[in-house]
Amino acid sequence: MGKTERVLAVLWPAFVMAGVLEALVFVVVDPESLTWFGGPPVELSRQAVYTLTFFIFWAVISAAGGVSAMLSRRT
């Protein structure tokens, strides 16, 4: 398996699971009621919160998958 295939083998499932996780989170959480660590409210549009959250979830899940792929790779 080439490097591109290995990268895509991590990124694609992470993309799908980020979408699932975002849907599960925002079934419970209203993006317009979010605050910064108990302080002022987040002054972003609902769509901006969805987008940023999706990319954060995707990055975290991709990092976990990448570490797993790296540790399981035979050299």
Question: Could you list the pLDDT tens digit for every one of the 75 residues in the chain?
Answer: 788 998 999 999 999 999 999 999 999 999 988 888 888 998 999 999 999 999 999 999 999 999 999 898 776
Helix (H) or strand (E) segment spanning residue 49: helix 46-72
Q: CA triplet 45, 46, 51: central angle to 5 degrees?
A: 95
Asked if residues 12 and 62 have their Cβ atoms less than 8 Å apart, the reply is no
What are the backbone dihedrals phi and psi of residue 37, each rounded to the nearest 5 degrees, phi first? 50, 45
Handedness of CA 30, 65, 60, 54 (dihedral sign): negative
Structure-token pair, residue 9: 């083998």
Domain ranges of the chain: 12-23+45-75
Claim: this prediction has a pTM higher than 0.85: yes
